Amino acid sequence: MKARAFSYVRSETLADAYAAFAQAGDASYISGGQSLVPALALRLQAPELLVDLGAVAEMHGVTLDGDMLRIGGLTRHAQMLTEPLIARHAPLLAQAAPHVAHPAIRNRGTLGGSVALADPASEFPAMMLAMDARMEIFGAAGTRLVPADAYFQDLYQTALEPGEILVALHVPSVGPRHRWAFDELTRRRGDYAMVGAGLQGLFEEDGRIEHIRIAFFSVAATPVRVKSVEAALAGRKIDAALIAHVQGLIDAELDPAEDEHLPPAMRLHLARVLLGRLLQTVSSPT
Amino acid sequence: MNFSIDGHAFSAEPHPGQCLRTFLRERGDFGVKKGCDQGDCGACTVWVDGAPIHSCLMPAFRAADRKVTTIQGLASGDALHPVQQAFLDAQAFQCGYCSAGMIMTIAALDETQRADLPRHLKGNLCRCTGYAAIHDAIDGVVNVSDDIAGNACGASLPNPFGPGIVTGHARYTMDLDVAGLTHLKVLRAPHAHARIRSIDKAPALAVPGVLAVFTWEDVPRRLYSTATHEDHLVDPDDTYMLDDVVRFVGQRVAAVVGESEAAAEAGCRALTVEYEVLPAVFDPELAMAPQAPVLHHKGGEAHGNVFAEIRGEVGSIAEGFAEADAIHERTYTTSRVQHVHLETHGSIAWKSDDGRIHVRTSSQAPFIAHEKLCHLFGFIPADLHVFTERVGGGFGGKQEMLTEDLCVLALLKLGRPVKWEYTREEQFIGASTRHQMTTRVKLGAKADGTLTAIEIRVVSNTGAYGGHGSETLAASLSSPMSAYRCANKKGEGFVVYTNMVPGGGFRGYGASQSTFAIECAMDDLAKLLGIDPFTLRRRNMVTADDWIEAIWSGVSDVEFGSYGLDQCMDLVEEALATGPRRPVPAGEHWAEGTGIALAMLESGPPTEHRSGAVMELLPDGRYHLAVGSTEMGNGSVTSHRQLAASVLGARAQDIDIINADTDKAPFDTGTFASTGTVVAGQAVMLTATALRQNILSYVARITATKPDDWALEADAVVGGNARISLVELHAKGTAAGHRFLAKRKAYLSPRTVAFNVQGIRLAVHRITGDIEILQSVHAADIGRLINPMQCRGQINGSIAMGLGWALTEHMDYDDTGHLKNAALRNYRIPSFADVPRTQILFADTYDTIGPLGAKAQGECAINPIAPAISNALFDATGVRFASLPFTPDRIFDQLQPRP
């Protein structure tokens, strides 16, 4: 199918992009375009105007400011694997990146685009939750920071108001006492996850967990944390009994939708398996 | 905007909304291929500033001021890029349609990425090769051998179109620029069963760029079948080009022709159609019930929805079961799957100045399409020309006429060239599929395993139209039932219309489905009797001394031109015991098992099949061969050159070839049912032999010697010390009025049989349902190998397709008959990571029926794959997985401890 014949504007500043979007009435922003272009081709979306964010300077680059890593929204998936600052300060992203689509997509797709779309089956949005990231959002009132916990609201619904732009992701840098892990279970190798999860925690010297955040994807309309599991892990040292205990909490935390080929019972089962594997991974230092 | 493409700088304004892929192709950069237009297949991969991207996912304007490199710009002048050369050396392609994208991806890999190919090749799908030859190319393996005069047969010679394929210059069906081209699109039915009350064309005709709309009222009201066979009566004439009743979601409703694809699509969206929705039935058992809605009122209503019914019994199964010490009975079901040839269906039709109509199409049977078009439109055959260029895969899916008819209709009405290219979604909802079959198997045996009775009942869901329905059913009751020796056999089968997308021909053709059932049942019986699966099979499998008999006592034309099933069994048993394998993955909960399955397939169809060839000695001492059969990646142009070269004492490269063209080649029924070698190859051999005779007789005549005194060599005829170059001979002969030409036809009868045995060792994870193939072993008895590399290629491709059928592929419908996964991202054909290396072994046989000892081999290798996997799962877990596919949810469902 052919996309609607949209017009196109390339903005160099956030304000210009915002204005162009507002003026059009029926516009879409394009970042990497790897989800948008197929949606346009299938006419799931058919905007009149595409506002290209590619030249907006504030959305480029990865910088460290104190304990906070600022990752420009236009940073490509492929850069999660090559950018030294990400490897050092936000290693969970580097760990998740090979699971995201495939190289040709990763060469174009952007972190900001993925988090703005908030596909519940995507890896990176869930990692924002696990890393306790803040979203830098540009809108009518200028720029604001929204914590990941308040950002994901419902299926493809985020704190982004119409016309607002996800400028950058602010990720707390990991220190020597952090541990993290990522994994997903797929039908076919490299496929969308049936269930996936990432976790990141601060550990005491003796191996006890000070606090931990665990985020699942492909289990609900949004990426979700399993807070009762996190609470149960706080102050504890990971062992087989603790893993079994928190696996038992999953059923009450997650409520996957009915799916003919992936019954909720199986999804929950896989989530328990995955949780066990991830906790096993971080039971010794990363 | 300024663009730089393959080093050419220019200014252009892309259309609003245009992606880079169509922008490139519009400029004539046809090396860039369309496979899905959704970033799933990788066929359109190009580099932007040196990084591979999917050109279908990039708006064209974003490539402005960037450096774009396509496959056509990868080589430096005449020097191929090392990856292009590696693809030639390994012959890492069959149809070649994925090669452009595959090469662009691989050429950009660094050393680290090359070390993790499963992950880095995940965005490039190949349906032909099973990725083995691609892996070879990356490893620098040279699979081709030297082309030595007189020794062409048995050598792994390369595809003559290889250089074009790896450089992007090979031209596939749609790779053509036609002046004044118009574009056709169809509106497809949203209902599984409905009568069309009215179609308002006006809103569509009002769309700018829309030229015409055609509905059922505009087409010849002539029934036909889209299935292509030599004898059209084997398929029911139950189809109109456009009908006033739609019988499946996705059936054509109306055709819109526009100045652009976008205009034609907009026209389709604008059409207003009023439907009277009718009751629909999807399950063939329900469709057989007396109160079921009847799909067709075309003379066969008395049989309800049962379009064909086939029965037969030899001996007496009642007596056979009475003699049995043990009886096993169970139902096995196979799933509906799509061929997913990477080149979608499509054709282009135009009229030449002399008024003749030309149709360039992606077909396995252009000659039958030619006949059908003559039937539909009342053409004089000589006024119509149907042909193929490179065809991007078929696998049985292109044994249909799906696009040619409407293109010709629009051409006749508008007088302008017309193109219609399927989208990937249309492949899933509006092409053909493998028939879903449910097979009840009942086996009776003595305690020592000797079979006393075999009974099967097959119900085939042919969907809304019956093309290939009766032939696939007959195939399901035929060779798989002949594979075992038993005095008492009975089979019955039903082909049932339902409101589903139609079934069609698909590699393995009905026999795949019943082989799955019977081979699973044999292992179930082995378990019941406590006998090893090899032993049980050896005790009962057909031997060279047996009369080949399925369920009919009448005589057939099937004979053993050779027999190597016993060798295949020995080879697989030995390799499973000693061959290379991967260890069971680390961690708990893995269960390991091995499984085998055998398959027997007749070489060629029971329906009529014929093929012709013409050969000529050229003035430069080379030869020209014209053969009617289609090359779609099956390798026939390569093997045909080898057969001819071997007869003529020449090198394969001395033979120019043209194929599948109703103007330029003699009639051929079509490349299907594994006939490329055994029928078309036979025609080539007969023709080459006649031309050799022609040449030698002429030499004898002018030298007053005997033809036997002379022999053909690469460039000369040689007799004793005398040597006459072919160039000289040609000049002399033609000057004297002699013609160095020959034409012969081949007809398929008798038919020989081929055998395949698959061994699988796997590990299944009881907790996640993950299946890891640890070892895959395949033995084939396909007679003499005309081209060993290609034979391995066909087998590797069949195995990959079998793995997809067994593990990941499935067409998933809602309860109103809508397909839920009409896209490659959720239909899931195997990717590089999903296909293990298979150890391929060959029985040492030489067939007395097939050409130069060869037998058919394009299809049969798929048949034992799925049952071998089910048998290995059974061995590992004790649970019989009797329904395809074995997806994680089904494994989970069966393996979870019950509370």
Would the CB atoms of A1 and B423 count as touching at under 8 Å? yes
The whole-number pLDDT of residue B254 equals: 98
Residues whose CB falls within 8 Å of the CB of residue B78, separated by 6 or more in sequence, listed in order: none
The residue ranking higher by pLDDT, A59 or A257, is A59
**Residue A259 predicted with pLDDT over 90:** no
List CB contacts (< 8 A) between B19 and chain A: 3, 37, 41
Instruction: Tell me the backbone φ, ψ of residue B161, rounded to 5 degrees.
Output: -95, 5
**Residue A286 predicted with pLDDT over 90:** no
DSSP one-letter string for B407-458: HHHHHHHH-S-EEEE--HHHHHHHS-EEPEEEEEEEEEE-TTS-EEEEEEEE
Minimal C-alpha gap between B52 and chain A (Å): 5
d(C-alpha B387, C-alpha B556), whole Å = 34
For residue B310, being part of any structural domain is answered with no
Would the CB atoms of A107 and B261 count as touching at under 8 Å? no
Instruction: Answer yes or no: do B689 and B782 share one domain.
Output: no
Q: Tell whether B831 is within 8 A of chain A (Cβ).
A: yes
List CB contacts (< 8 A) between A1 and chain B: 37, 265, 423, 425
Minimal C-alpha gap between A68 and chain B (Å): 30
Instruction: Answer yes or no: do B460 and B597 share one domain.
Output: yes
d(C-alpha B550, C-alpha B555), whole Å = 10
d(C-alpha B550, C-alpha B484), whole Å = 9
Helix or strand holding residue B203 (H, E) = helix B202-205
CA-based R_g, chain B, Å: 27
What is A57-172's CATH number?
3.30.465.10
pLDDT-based confidence at residue A1 (cuts at 50, 70, 90): confident
Instruction: Answer yes or no: do B43 and B142 share one domain.
Output: yes
Would the CB atoms of A104 and B42 count as touching at under 8 Å? yes
**B130 closest CA partner among B792, B755, B582, B886:** B792
Instruction: Answer yes or no: do B6 and B151 share one domain.
Output: yes
For residue B440, being part of any structural domain is answered with yes
For residue B306, being part of any structural domain is answered with no
Instruction: Answer yes or no: do B650 and B736 share one domain.
Output: yes
d(C-alpha B741, C-alpha B747), whole Å = 21
Low-confidence ranges of chain B (pLDDT < 50): none
Between A and B, how many residue pairs show a Cβ–Cβ distance under 8 A?
A: 125
pLDDT tens string A5-44: 888 999 999 999 999 999 998 999 999 999 999 999 989 9
CA angle B319, B320, B322 (to 5 degrees): 60
Beta-bridged to residue B783, according to DSSP, are B854
Output the six-digit token pair for A123.
């890896």
Residue range(s) defining the domain that contains residue B76? 2-167
3-state helix, strand, coil in chain A (%, to 5): 35, 30, 35
Instruction: Answer yes or no: do B546 and B439 share one domain.
Output: yes
Would the CB atoms of B57 and A38 count as touching at under 8 Å? yes
Residues whose CB falls within 8 Å of the CB of residue B238, separated by 6 or more in sequence, listed in order: B223, B225, B296, B298, B307, B465, B466
For residue B628, being part of any structural domain is answered with yes
What is A7-52's CATH number?
3.30.43.10
d(C-alpha A69, C-alpha A85), whole Å = 8
Helix or strand holding residue B5 (H, E) = strand B2-5
Instruction: Answer yes or no: do B451 and B545 share one domain.
Output: yes
The whole-number pLDDT of residue A285 equals: 82
For residue B804, being part of any structural domain is answered with yes
Q: Tally the residues of chain B.
A: 899
Helix or strand holding residue B575 (H, E) = helix B565-578
Most B CBs within 10 A among A2, A81, A269, A272, hence the mutation to make, goes to A2
Please tell me which residue of chain B has the smallest CA distance to A78.
Answer: B51
Q: Tell whether B58 is within 8 A of chain A (Cβ).
A: yes
Minimal C-alpha gap between B600 and chain A (Å): 30
Q: Which of residues 723-742 of B touch A (CB under 8 A)?
A: none
Would the CB atoms of B58 and A38 count as touching at under 8 Å? no
What region does A78 belong to: left with phi over 0, alpha with psi -120 to 50, or beta?
Answer: alpha
Minimal C-alpha gap between B690 and chain A (Å): 51
Instruction: Answer yes or no: do B728 and B756 share one domain.
Output: no
Yes or no: say if B508 and B756 are a contact pair by the CB < 8 Å rule: no
d(C-alpha A180, C-alpha A278), whole Å = 8
Please tell me which residue of chain A has the smallest CA distance to B890.
Answer: A261
The whole-number pLDDT of residue A258 equals: 86
The whole-number pLDDT of residue B9 equals: 98
Q: Tell whether B404 is within 8 A of chain A (Cβ).
A: no
Instruction: Answer yes or no: do B737 and B688 share one domain.
Output: yes
pLDDT tens string A183-242: 999 988 778 899 999 999 999 999 999 999 999 999 999 999 999 999 999 999 999 999
List CB contacts (< 8 A) between A33 and chain B: 57-59, 62
For residue B289, being part of any structural domain is answered with no
Minimal C-alpha gap between A98 and chain B (Å): 8
pLDDT tens string B120-156: 999 999 999 999 999 999 999 999 999 999 999 999 9
Q: Point out the domain boundary residue: B380, B409, B425.
A: B425
Instruction: Answer yes or no: do B486 and B418 share one domain.
Output: no
The whole-number pLDDT of residue B302 equals: 67
DSSP one-letter string for B582-604: PPPPSSSSEEEEEEEEEEEEESS
Q: Would you give the distance in Å from CA B704 to the centre of its chain?
A: 51
For residue B60, being part of any structural domain is answered with yes
Would the CB atoms of A6 and B16 count as touching at under 8 Å? yes
Architecture label for domain A180-281:
2-Layer Sandwich (3.30)
Domain spans in chain A, listed from the N-terminal domain onward = 7-52, 57-172, 180-281
Q: Please name the amino acid found at residue B268.
A: C
Instruction: Answer yes or no: do B820 and B856 share one domain.
Output: yes
The whole-number pLDDT of residue B767 equals: 87
List CB contacts (< 8 A) between A190 and chain B: 118-119, 122, 831, 833
pLDDT tens string B809-833: 999 999 999 999 999 999 999 999 9
- Core vs surface per residue A199-221: b (16+ CB within 10 A) or e: bbbebeeeeebeebbbbbbbbbe
- The CATH number for B67's domain is 1.10.150.120
Q: Sign of the C-alpha dihedral, residues B414, B416, B417, B419?
A: negative
- The CATH number for B255's domain is 3.90.1170.50
Most A CBs within 10 A among B21, B768, B826, B883, hence the mutation to make, goes to B768
Would the CB atoms of A190 and B122 count as touching at under 8 Å? yes
Q: Tell whether B39 is within 8 A of chain A (Cβ).
A: yes
The whole-number pLDDT of residue B63 equals: 97
**B629 closest CA partner among B592, B574, B674:** B674
Q: How many domains does chain B have?
A: 4
Q: Which of residues 867-896 of B touch A (CB under 8 A)?
A: 887-889, 892-893, 896
The whole-number pLDDT of residue B303 equals: 78
For residue B370, being part of any structural domain is answered with yes
pLDDT tens string B480-502: 999 999 999 999 999 999 999 99
pLDDT tens string B55-107: 999 999 999 999 999 999 999 988 999 999 999 999 999 999 999 999 999 99
Residues whose CB falls within 8 Å of the CB of residue B807, separated by 6 or more in sequence, listed in order: A188, B771, B830, B834, B869, B885, B886, B887
In three-state secondary structure terms, B309 is: strand
Please tell me which residue of chain A has the smallest CA distance to B59.
Answer: A37
Instruction: Answer yes or no: do B577 and B441 share one domain.
Output: yes
pLDDT tens string A95-113: 999 999 999 999 999 999 9
Would the CB atoms of A103 and B123 count as touching at under 8 Å? yes
